[in-house]
Structures are given as structure tokens and as C-alpha cells.
């Protein structure tokens, strides 16, 4: 091939490659702007002094220091998005040095006491998940009160939070193309999106769509087996979702997910902080996620069903989480935590 032929070949290649580069750069920019815009729309800081937990001596940096995040699944479909309740609460710890991730499900029915400042006319003993509702009604702040109640219960700082409502949960699962879960025991649960029709789950691997996934993680009144609790199903689902989310095809669905996030998710994590976390944990192996459980018993007090955690279990879980967060001062708020434990059993 002569010099003229080589030049023509290079020119042709340029006209082939250039459009591909433009498309790639344009699509990457679109993804970045979509995700950044949605994350910015979802961003809502917790109203607290110095922008940090009272149980922190110094402010932590996301992506650099070990942090804790409270994941809150909000049930607000019965109230048209107003005064929802925290149907699910999971404390996640992230250590950027070890890349260790832990999950601790906090039972929603845990009995705790609310002050008049926190709950207004509803001051007194209630279930922990009511904090989201009463914080909104009293003006204290729904997320702020939910975070602070979990902090008191576990005696650890909660640095950040993420809330997602049921519609967002369902739509994200559907956008991911469903999530495959290995179901341990057969059971059924109502589908409130379809007039209460039953969804039946058989033992074994099953790919769940959004509505099925919601029923899978919510069923609690008909516990099929004491060894397959609601908390375990929630952890199992999250691990499966992480595995699905880091799969190859998920990248091309970011634009769709961004639209869902902007409408259904609220978080104290800024877009930059979310980016840093994604960089660190994008390749995490779900099987390496460590889980902690809060033990206790169910009790009926004043005709209301509560979960009463044991003091020993609260202390053990608290110490484990403090180690994950690399907290050297384990006496933070000790008196408050002890008072909380006593109140649980009043």
C-alpha cells in the first residue's frame, strides 16, 4: 500500500472512530449529568449542629473514614406520601480501608420512649418505626428523629441516611431486570399493588420482579420458620441486589435509575460522596458482607405488640459496630444508652 493509500485508510478510520468517540463521550456525559442531577435532587442534609452526629467528636469524611448509614424503607402508600412510617431500618457500616461492609437490621417494633419535644402530643412509649411519623407531625424532623432513636438504641453515631419509598423500591428492582434470590422456605404475602392478591413464594432460586421483591422483604405476620425471619430475608435480598447492581448490564440502565432516585429517594449523601462510595465499593463481593443480629423477644404491652431486645444483645451489637467504625471511645453517650435500655422494659 502506497503512502496515498495509507493516508486514505487513516482518514476512513478516523471517520469511523470519531462518531464512536463522540457517542461514547456524549453518553458518558449524559449518564453523569443524569445521576448527578438526580442525586442532587435527592440530597437533604440532617438538621444537626456542625453537620455531624452528637456521638462524633470530629466530623468524618465519606470515602476516607469508616462511616455508618441508616437505610430506611418508608411505607407511605396508604397516606399519599404524607406521614409515612419506617417499615425497614438497616444500619450499614462502611470501612474504606478494609472495604468491609456490615448490615444490622433494627426491628421496627422495638419499644422506645418519645419525649414531648420529639413527638408532641404523642409523647410516651411507641414502636421505633413511629419516629418517622411523629418527627414529621411534631416538627422535630422525621429523618432526624428516626436517626437519633437508632443512635440512642445502639449507642453509635449514624453519619448518613438513605430513605426509599415503596414505589422507588419496586421500580428500581424492575429497572435492574429483577433480582434472583434463593428462597429458603415457601410462604405467601399480599400484593397491595394488586388489590391484596396473594403472591406465593416457593423454596429455591427465583427471579423476583419489583412487586414480588417488596412482598418478599415485607412479610412478617405469617413467619414460616423461626430460622427464616424477615430480617434475614431483607439482608438476603440486599446482598442479591448488590450482586445484580454491579453486573455488566447495569451501566446502561443508570439513566432510568437516576429518574427513579430523583423522585423516590432522599439522602444526606451529596453527589460527590455517592461517587466516592461507588468508586470504593463497586467491586464488593456480597458474600463478604458481615451481618449482626439484635436478639430479643416479642411482648404485648397495653394491647400493643412490641419487640423487646435483650440488654446483652444491644451491648454486643453496639460493641461490634464500634469496632467496625474504629471508635476508640466506647463510652460515648453511655448513660443515655443505658437509660434507653431500661426504658425498653418499663
Give CA–CA dist 213/167, Å, rounded.
12
- Round the CA-based radius of gyration of the chain to a whole number and report it: 23
Reported confidence tier of residue 51, pLDDT bands at 50, 70, 90: confident
Give CA–CA dist 316/35, Å, rounded.
38
Could you tell me the residue range of the domain that residue 136 belongs to?
A: 46-160+273-344
Reported confidence tier of residue 29, pLDDT bands at 50, 70, 90: very low
Kindly tell me if the per-residue pLDDT of 159 is higher than 90. yes
Provide the domain count of the chain. 1
- Domain assignment of residue 78, yes or no: yes
Give CA–CA dist 264/127, Å, rounded.
24
- Give the CATH number, domain containing residue 303: 3.30.420.590
**What is the strand order of the sheet 67-75 is part of?**
265-267, 160-165, 67-75, 85-95, 100-105, 290-292
Reported confidence tier of residue 244, pLDDT bands at 50, 70, 90: confident
- Domain assignment of residue 128, yes or no: yes
Burial 139-157 (b: 16+ CB within 10 A, else e): ebbbbbbbbbbbbbbbbbb
- Domain assignment of residue 334, yes or no: yes
- pTM comes to 0.80
**pLDDT tens digits, 97-150:** 888 899 999 999 999 999 999 999 999 999 999 999 999 999 999 999 999 999
- Domain assignment of residue 231, yes or no: no
- Domain assignment of residue 132, yes or no: yes
- Domain assignment of residue 220, yes or no: no
Reported confidence tier of residue 22, pLDDT bands at 50, 70, 90: very low
- Domain assignment of residue 32, yes or no: no
- Domain assignment of residue 92, yes or no: yes
Amino acid at each position: 500500500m502506497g503512502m496515498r493509500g495509507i493516508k486514505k485508510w487513516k482518514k476512513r478510520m478516523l471517520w469511523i472512530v470519531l462518531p464512536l468517540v463522540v457517542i461514547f463521550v456524549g453518553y458518558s456525559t449524559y449518564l453523569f449529568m443524569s445521576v448527578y442531577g438526580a442525586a442532587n435532587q435527592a440530597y437533604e442534609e440532617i438538621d444537626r449542629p456542625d453537620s455531624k452526629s452528637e456521638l462524633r467528636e470530629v466530623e468524618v469524611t465519606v470515602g476516607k473514614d469508616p462511616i455508618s448509614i441508616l437505610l430506611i424503607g418508608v411505607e407511605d402508600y396508604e397516606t399519599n406520601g404524607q406521614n409515612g412510617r419506617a417499615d425497614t431500618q438497616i444500619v450499614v457500616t462502611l470501612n474504606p480501608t478494609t472495604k468491609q461492609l456490615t448490615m444490622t437490621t433494627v426491628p421496627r417494633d422495638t419499644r422506645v420512649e418519645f419525649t414531648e419535644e420529639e413527638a408532641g402530643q404523642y409523647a410516651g412509649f411507641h414502636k421505633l418505626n413511629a419516629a418517622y411519623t411523629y418527627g414529621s407531625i411534631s416538627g422535630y424532623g422525621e429523618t432526624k428523629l428516626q436517626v437519633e432513636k437508632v443512635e440512642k438504641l445502639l449507642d453509635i453515631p449514624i453519619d448518613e441516611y438513605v430513605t426509599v419509598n415503596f414505589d422507588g423500591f419496586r421500580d428500581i428492582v424492575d429497572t435492574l431486570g429483577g433480582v434472583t434470590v434463593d428462597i429458603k422456605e415457601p410462604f405467601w404475602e399480599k400484593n397491595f399493588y394488586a388489590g391484596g392478591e396473594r403472591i406465593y413464594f416457593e423454596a429455591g432460586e427465583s427471579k423476583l420482579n419489583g412487586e414480588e421483591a417488596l412482598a418478599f422483604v415485607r412479610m412478617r405476620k405469617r413467619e414460616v420458620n423461626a430460622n427464616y425471619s424477615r430480617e434475614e430475608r431483607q439482608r438476603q435480598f440486599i446482598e442479591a441486589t448488590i450482586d445484580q447492581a454491579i453486573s455488566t448490564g447495569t451501566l446502561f440502565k443508570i439513566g432510568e435509575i437516576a429518574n427513579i432516585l430523583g423522585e423516590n429517594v432522599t439522602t444526606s449523601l451529596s453527589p460527590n460522596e455517592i461517587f466516592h462510595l461507588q468508586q470504593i465499593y463497586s467491586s464488593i463481593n456480597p458474600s463478604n458482607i458481615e451481618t449482626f443480629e439484635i436478639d430479643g423477644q416479642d411482648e404485648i404491652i397495653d394491647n400493643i405488640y412490641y419487640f423487646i431486645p435483650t440488654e446483652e444483645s444491644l451491648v454486643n451489637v453496639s460493641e461490634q459496630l464500634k469496632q467496625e467504625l474504629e471508635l476508640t471511645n466506647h463510652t460515648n453517650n453511655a448513660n443515655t444508652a443505658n437509660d434507653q435500655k431500661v426504658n425498653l422494659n418499663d
